[in-house]
Chain A
């Protein structure tokens, strides 16, 4: 797994995102389309693709895609 692969999966999964627009430093909370549903989409994606269980509490502490990647690596 690398962070680019995670970004591609997120771009595929979240329909509001145009391909090639997310970067490791993208702050997911500052994006105008962000909603609570996207948190669920991310939890599901991480669980299914990486077999890592992220709790709601974990996700609340995450700001950027790099943070999400680091969390997945830590929990893998």
Chain B
């Protein structure tokens, strides 16, 4: 017995931001400069009143429409986000009610960022394979745009807000391989949301300081791009080798490498370091931006749509980022 990914839906936030739009705000760059620098043509932001769980809710509704999967058969939901509705209760509880799911189900939050998909998939596999439930609906919703300063070029040009719903189900044959996890909390300071939650809450001074941009009442994401970059090119190749070893596979056995779509330069550097041929790399950053926990399901959906994943293929997936946290596995199609 094992489990498999049965279906993926994802949704990008509604407001498309082009490079021309960005060039209007960041006068020092032309639209062409921005594309050259970041490798992204468009990214998507929500409005202030749409948050992560709303994007997850929309994706879930889309999932139920597209699959006609009976809502009453969902046995477990895991909601993965870095922008919870409240400190308490769990947003997964609110989603159970909004989605009209049964009351005799499991519902947990899993706050995790760019490694969110692989972390959540690992937990879903554990829940299903231990017999606790026969399926898990993974819900994702991330809104980095809501905590990015309007003048922060790196964040504004790279990140998108998005939601996804992914159904994991029990299966006769196992389609999800062994997992590798990693964490280095000493890197937390290089990518975090300042002035958020209990440790470091907003105060009057903060609101006044940011008065010109609406106060940044939800906090402000701060990224040290250099440190995130050096972490990524150091740890991700190690992660890839550990995933291969744990699943008794070689580089050449992999048909497609799906990495979290961190940034073009990070993906290119990892590709070069691991000597992966371009046709085996998933690049879906250009028209979507970095969608945090949604990036890997987005890539899988698009790669399938393009016919890049065939029956019998082995796809290596690896998430990495904020925390620092990283994880990955092999998907057997």
Contacts and interface: CB of A to CB of B under 8 A. Distances in A.
A45 to B, nearest CB: 9
A60 B283 CA distance: 30
Contacts of A36: 154, 225-226
A55 B230 contact: yes
Most buried by A among B37, B227, B229, B265: B229
B23 interface: no
Contacts of A3: none
B37 A37 contact: yes
Contacts, number: 48
A47 B226 contact: no
A53 B234 contact: yes
Contacts of B229: 40, 43-44, 56
A40 B158 CA distance: 15
Chain A contact surface mostly: helix
Chain B contact surface mostly: helix
A14 interface: no
A59 interface: yes
Interface string A22-36: 000000000000011
Contact of B226 (A35, A48, A53, A59): A59
Most buried by B among A40, A54, A60: A40
B230 A54 contact: yes
Contact of B230 (A35, A37, A43): A43
Contacts of A35: 37
Contacts of A59: 226
Interface extent on A, as a size class?
10 to 19
B233 interface: yes
Nearest to B225: A36
B132 interface: no
B269 interface: yes
Contacts of B227: 55-57
Interface in B216-243: 224-227, 229-230, 233-234
Interface string B279-321: 0000000000000000000000000000000000000000000
A47 B233 contact: yes
A73 interface: no
Interface in B250-281: 265, 268-269, 272-273
B233 A44 contact: yes
Interface of A: 35-37, 39-41, 43-44, 47-48, 53-57, 59-60
29 contacts: A35-B37, A36-B154, A36-B225, A36-B226, A37-B37, A37-B265, A39-B226, A40-B225, A40-B229, A40-B265, A40-B269, A41-B265, A43-B226, A43-B230, A44-B233, A44-B265, A44-B272, A44-B273, A47-B230, A47-B269, A48-B233, A48-B273, A53-B230, A54-B230, A56-B225, A56-B226, A56-B230, A59-B226, A60-B226
Given A40-B226, A53-B234, 17 more contacts: A36-B225, A37-B37, A37-B265, A39-B226, A40-B265, A40-B269, A41-B265, A43-B233, A44-B265, A44-B269, A44-B273, A47-B230, A48-B269, A53-B230, A55-B227, A56-B225, A56-B227
Interface of B: 37, 154, 224-227, 229-230, 233-234, 265, 268-269, 272-273
